[in-house]
A and B are shown apart, each in its own frame.
Chain A
Amino acid sequence: MSQSRNEEERTSELTILLTRAASGDAAAFEQIVVRHERRVLTLSWRLLGAMEDAQDAAQEVFLRTFKYLHRFDTQKPFEPWLVRMTVNVCRDLGKARQQRVAVIVPQTDSFGRAEQQDPGNDPHDELQFEQQRQMLYRALDELPEKERTAFVLRDIEGMTTAETAEALESSEATVRSQISSARLKIRKIVERMNGGRR
């Protein structure tokens, strides 16, 4: 009950911020950036693979947000609009830079596991975790762009199929087909990378 009330309060607060930002209030826009920067940067990083590109994409997303905020209908939820814009910006950026080369191996210092590190952790475990993560991103990088985007949104970001379809401006059936194909390919790639141990 109180959780839904908090949600409502947050939504109405965001609506006020959006209205103020649309009329040029820089302080209100800064609040919006602070609230959503982590989501946008993380998603961009997962879609593009390189932190440098992800930062460029996130910057572009927020600049477009500021520019086109007057087009946004404040009666609708803001985050799907922002996610859709992030996906589009990353797609454009990926095409422009022909990003599908080499990977995505996020550096430990630029990827946020540093924030979650427990000083008591075994460095050996850390290293193993890092290697596994690099392998997974290499596998992701082998997927076609559309399947990769659908897979990242659905299986890594944890969005529902409907939310993914909305972000990709596609149908749920298409998204299901893309993620099904992506999961099967990922499994084969992971098997191959593990040296066919399975």
Chain B
Amino acid sequence: MNCNGLESLIALYVEGDLPVLDRQRLESHLQSCTVCCALADGLRESQSMFKVLRAGTVNSSDLAGVRNRVLNEVGDLDPAPGWVITMHRLFFAGLRHRNAIAGVLLAALVSGGLWYSRARFVHEGHERKSDSPVEVARLDAPAVFVSPDPVSPPPEAPRVLNRRALQAAPVEVSPDAPAVPAALEPFPPQLQVSQVPPMKFVTDDPNIIIYWLPSDKGD
């Protein structure tokens, strides 16, 4: 043990504030180190000077002055009503206020988090449940084909349109454009790549729109 950092230990040692193990190690060091021994003696002396202050006490007139002031003030104060005391003991259960309030806040936070995550889980599950039949119907539906041109061979059937959708939104054929279903909206100009107008199939699902872009030959 060297003297570095021993000052604080010696300051504790002189008043018996060191644990047994540290005390024994320090005592063995003090036997061989005069510098640390002098520090310990100096600390003992200054501490003993302060012990003198323990003997002092305030006098009776000061005490009486405080007592009178307190009792005069207390006479003007209303004590807490009985129900406040009962409720306080019930709610705080002998805990310190800040601990009790912190506990309540923590419990509220945890239960709020649990409630939120549960509500979100239920909501997502519900959405997934309501989406699934359409997806299944779309995938398993039989192929439907609307021919733009009765002469040309039928294109490969789109696989995403179901029969029910077709019935719900039947394709109307305009007299001006007999090869194109009339229910279809005007096609964006940038997509008009051939002479044959493209076709747009509308289903009952607003998220599903099918465009068919035939070549000049009608393929």
Chain B binds chain A: yes
Q: A23 touching B71 by the CB < 8 A rule?
A: no
In this complex, what residue of B is CB-closest to A75?
A: B94
Instruction: Verify if B54 is at the interface (C-beta below 8 Å from A).
Output: yes
In this complex, what residue of B is CB-closest to A169?
A: B96
Complex interface: chain A residues within 8 A of B60 (CB): 115
What's the dominant secondary structure at chain B's contact region?
helix
Q: How many A-B residue pairs have CB under 8 A?
A: 147
Complex interface: chain B residues within 8 A of A183 (CB): 11, 14-15, 43, 46-47
CA distance A24 to B77 in the complex (A): 9
Q: B70 touching A186 by the CB < 8 A rule?
A: no
Instruction: Verify if B17 is at the interface (C-beta below 8 Å from A).
Output: yes
Instruction: Verify if B1 is at the interface (C-beta below 8 Å from A).
Output: no
Complex interface: chain A residues within 8 A of B59 (CB): 109-112, 114-115
Q: Chain B, interface size: which category?
A: 35 or more
Instruction: Verify if B82 is at the interface (C-beta below 8 Å from A).
Output: yes
In this complex, what residue of A is CB-closest to B77?
A: A66
Binary flags per residue of A151-174, CB closer than 8 Å to B gives 1, else 0? 000111110010000000000000
Instruction: Verify if B176 is at the interface (C-beta below 8 Å from A).
Output: no
Q: A51 touching B8 by the CB < 8 A rule?
A: no
Q: Chain A, interface size: which category?
A: 35 or more
Distance from A29 Cβ to chain B, minimum over Cβ atoms (Å): 6
Interface of chain B residues 39 through 65 with chain A (CB within 8 A): 42-43, 46-47, 49-60, 62-63, 65
CA distance A176 to B71 in the complex (A): 38
Complex interface: chain A residues within 8 A of B191 (CB): none
Q: Which of A41, A70, A112, A136 contacts B88 (CB 8 A)?
A: A70
Q: Which of A29, A38, A156 contacts B54 (CB 8 A)?
A: A156
Instruction: Verify if B20 is at the interface (C-beta below 8 Å from A).
Output: no
Q: B71 touching A111 by the CB < 8 A rule?
A: no
Instruction: Verify if B150 is at the interface (C-beta below 8 Å from A).
Output: no
CA distance A71 to B91 in the complex (A): 11
Q: B17 touching A51 by the CB < 8 A rule?
A: no
In this complex, what residue of B is CB-closest to A29?
A: B74
Q: B63 touching A26 by the CB < 8 A rule?
A: no
Binary flags per residue of A36-68, CB closer than 8 Å to B gives 1, else 0? 011001100110000100110011001100110
Can you show 21 pairs from A to B with CB atoms below 8 A apart?
A22-B79, A22-B80, A26-B74, A29-B74, A33-B71, A34-B67, A38-B58, A42-B58, A45-B58, A59-B73, A63-B70, A63-B74, A63-B77, A71-B92, A73-B94, A115-B57, A116-B57, A136-B53, A180-B11, A186-B46, A191-B42
Chain B contact residues, CB within 8 Å of chain A: 7-9, 11-12, 14-15, 17, 42-43, 46-47, 49-60, 62-63, 65-67, 69-71, 73-75, 77-80, 82, 84-85, 88-89, 92, 94, 97
Extra inter-chain contacts (18) besides given A155-B47, A156-B54, CB under 8 Å: A24-B79, A33-B70, A41-B62, A41-B63, A51-B62, A63-B73, A63-B77, A66-B77, A70-B84, A106-B56, A109-B59, A112-B57, A112-B59, A116-B55, A133-B52, A161-B17, A183-B11, A183-B15
